[in-house]
Amino acid sequence: MTRASRSPFVPVVAGVAVVVILAILPLLNISIPGVLPGPTYTPGTLALLSLCMVYAALALSYNMLLGTAGLLSFGHALSFGAGAYGLGIVLQSLQMPLWPSVLIAVLGGLVIAVVTGAVSLRVNGIPFAMVTLAFAQAASVLVRRNAQITGGEEGLSLPTAHVPDWLVGVINTRNLYWFALVVVVIAYLIALWVDRSRLGHVARAARENELRVRVLGLSPYVAKLVVFIAAAVAASLAGIAYLLLQSGTQPHAVSADLTITILVMVVLGGVGFRWGAVVGGVVYTLLDQRLTVLARSDLIAGMPDVLRIPLSEPLFLLGVLFIIVVMFLPGGIAGTVDALVRRRRARRAPASFVNVNRADEIAEEDVRV
């Protein structure tokens, strides 16, 4: 088997290996001081890693919009909230088992995406962002004002009567971690399908030059709408995992603030890179959790007020780190790695050409002989 025939399988093998490692991680005794709160098998660490998985899936879904279709949405949290609140409301109102409730919640998120996407995609650019923001703000108002259905400002608790015992409680954090890992894998497969499909190619082409796509007789509107719906389904699955993991949800799940946080994750990981979105979601979540601990530490408390006051705010620290990334790593983590790999290949290219030319010269000499 030649190298060219093996190369397409390398990413598949690498992806399967990463999933297997992550799957057995709760069974291992691994400690990373300063990053994880304890060994990987402890409930606290597994809860943090599960939250990283949820946000990784959410970042993957947003990368479909921004990275594939070039859609800057300020209302993507609506799909996340549709999954979280949808599952909670179905379990509470219809008294159905978990898995049919999950299906109904996903279908609800899909219907909301069809309606909001069909309206929002009538415009492009900043108007599109404003329309999606309006939908998210309207949903946020509905969630906060309907205390009997959504719990209002207090949020909605997970109705556990129809949830399997193995997905409830701190003692089952390992099972919740595996459930969150499955959600990430599904979100990644959805993103992979979108990128490899004909509609995904049309959406990317429309991102670069929509007029040219129309001239070719293709419909960028349909392609973008399909990408919008696929991203919403992935985000709804992440919302469902969030509800089970946190045993409830809050109005923040449908707010524009959450969408901005997701945008930061994608930019941090690298826009347009699937694995970059996963890394961005994980890194941001770890930083958010660990910087909160650092901000409350004795080290910060003992500093002068001019340093203590800003450094005691985790959002200030995250903001500074984000500015550093934008200034020095404009392509994000994945973009920087990709640029380094391309540069390394470019350096090796002349040597390869020399070897090929030398081999041709030797072959010609053999022919003459």
CA of residue 316 relative to chain centroid, distance: 23
Q: Residue 73 falls within a domain, yes or no?
A: yes
Q: List the CATH number of the domain containing 46.
A: 1.10.3470
For 344, the domain range is: 339-369
User: Under DSSP, is residue 94 helix (H, G, I), strand (E, B) or coil?
Assistant: coil
**What tokens appear for 218 in the block?**
């293709």
Predicted local distance difference test score (pLDDT) of residue 32: 86
Summarised one tens digit per residue, pLDDT across range 191-231 is 999 999 999 899 999 998 888 888 888 889 999 999 999 99
Summarised one tens digit per residue, pLDDT across range 15-24 is 888 899 999 9
Predicted local distance difference test score (pLDDT) of residue 182: 96
Question: If residue 192 lies in a helix (H) or strand (E), which one and from where to where?
Answer: helix 173-196
Question: If residue 156 lies in a helix (H) or strand (E), which one and from where to where?
Answer: strand 156-157
Q: Residue 204 falls within a domain, yes or no?
A: yes
- Specify whether 261 is located in the same domain as 365: no
Summarised one tens digit per residue, pLDDT across range 235-285 is 999 999 999 999 999 998 888 889 989 999 999 999 989 999 999 999 999
**Using an 8 Å Cβ cutoff, are 243 and 84 in contact?**
yes
- Specify whether 273 is located in the same domain as 363: no
Q: Residue 50 falls within a domain, yes or no?
A: yes
- Specify whether 258 is located in the same domain as 353: no
- CA quadruple 87, 89, 92, 93: dihedral positive or negative? negative
**Using an 8 Å Cβ cutoff, are 262 and 242 in contact?**
no
User: Is 208 or 114 the better-scoring residue by pLDDT?
Assistant: 114
Neighbours of 63 (CB within 10 A): 30
In angstroms, the CA 289 to CA 270 distance is: 21
- Specify whether 232 is located in the same domain as 365: no
Is residue 350 very low, low, confident or very high in pLDDT (cuts 50, 70, 90)?
low
Q: Residue 2 falls within a domain, yes or no?
A: no
Average pLDDT over residues 86-103: 92
**Using an 8 Å Cβ cutoff, are 79 and 113 in contact?**
yes
Q: Residue 84 falls within a domain, yes or no?
A: yes
Whether residue 289 has pLDDT greater than 50: yes
- Specify whether 284 is located in the same domain as 347: no
- Residue with token string 């598949």: 12
Is residue 8 very low, low, confident or very high in pLDDT (cuts 50, 70, 90)?
low
- Specify whether 231 is located in the same domain as 87: yes
Q: Residue 287 falls within a domain, yes or no?
A: yes
Q: Residue 118 falls within a domain, yes or no?
A: yes
Q: Residue 103 falls within a domain, yes or no?
A: yes
Predicted local distance difference test score (pLDDT) of residue 7: 53
Domain boundary among 295, 325, 354: 295
Predicted local distance difference test score (pLDDT) of residue 305: 75
Give the mean pLDDT of the chain: 86
Average pLDDT over residues 104-109: 95
- Specify whether 226 is located in the same domain as 345: no
Look at the chain and report how many structural domains it folds into.
2
- Specify whether 66 is located in the same domain as 163: yes
What is the per-residue DSSP string for 326-347?
Answer: HHH-TTHHHHHHHHHHHHHHHH
Is residue 367 very low, low, confident or very high in pLDDT (cuts 50, 70, 90)?
very low
- Specify whether 141 is located in the same domain as 213: yes
User: Under DSSP, is residue 249 helix (H, G, I), strand (E, B) or coil?
Assistant: strand
Q: Which residues pair with 157 in a beta bridge?
A: 248
Predicted local distance difference test score (pLDDT) of residue 257: 86
Domain boundary among 275, 295, 315: 295
In angstroms, the CA 189 to CA 183 distance is: 10
